[in-house]
Amino acid sequence: MKSILQGVRNESLIEEYEVNLGRVREEFDCHPAVLALFRQPMEAVAMEQFLISFAILGVGMTEPVEGWIRRAALKCGELGLVKLAKALDAHAHQEADHHLLMLADAGRLVDRWNKTRKPELSVAALRDGAPTPGVTAYQRLHEDVISGPTPYGQLAIEYEIEMLSVRYGPRLIERCRGLLGDGILEGLSFLRDHVELDVGHTNFNRIQLSRLLEEHPDFLPGLIAAGSKALRAYALFLDDCFGLLRGIAV
């Protein structure tokens, strides 16, 4: 009987997390940048601008990920969360060098642009720009979580962000193909890779969340806060992707 009750309690805690984040996910789904990507008319050139910006700015979103997860694992270990620390450390290895996919995509997308559009763009020049609000907010969130009292919040950040690849990745790829043709797939290696990888990562993260809440139900508010902030920061990043090349001549 005790094990049954414990299972019910555990399920109720993860469901409480899901209910709270469900509201934030709906907020994200109605964010202007998300609406523009999936539910509003869009010109091919605007999608090209978005994709170039996504790859350029995405380097700052992905290059630190392995280090963030490893540092969060270390902090969790210091708090006695040994199982979570081991799980995070193993996950960190899977995130190594993903920014290189972003850089490769940026090069391919800029080459494609320069063949047919003006002004000519340069990956190096675009990367030299000042940090954008969304990238800054996303980076600050990780630093605050890792250095604060709830480093286990990194798990909720990973859960929400990797779930975006599962929920939106296939739809974005299909919209790109519809607007720009199958040739655009060469510049979408990061998206295509994560559509496949993040199904498993999302399942892994949910299992880890459920186990963590089973052992530490008082962690629920911190996990909800971290997951919510992650989605809101990512929405700002999408705003950045629409704004970086807006207004340039074509």
Mean pLDDT computed over 160-182: 95
**CB count in 10 Å sphere of residue 9:** 12
Is a pLDDT exceeding 90 seen at residue 189? yes
Q: How far apart, in Å, are the Cα atoms of 24 and each of 11, 194, 240, 242?
A: 20, 22, 20, 21
Could you tell me the pLDDT band of residue 6, with boundaries at 50, 70 and 90?
Answer: very low
Q: From residue 126, how far is each of 4, 98, 148 by CA, in Å?
A: 56, 19, 33
Residues 6 or more apart whose CB falls under 8 angstroms from that of 247 comprise: none
Nearest to 177 by CA among 83, 47, 59, 68: 47
pLDDT digits (tens, 9 = 90+) for 133-154: 999 999 999 999 999 999 999 9
Euclidean distance between the first and final Cα of the chain, in Å?
68
The predicted-structure confidence for 94-129, as pLDDT tens digits, reads as follows 887 889 999 999 999 999 999 999 999 999 999 998
Residue carrying the six token digits 């972003």: 102
What pLDDT score was predicted for residue 9? 53
**What tokens does 121 get?**
């763009």
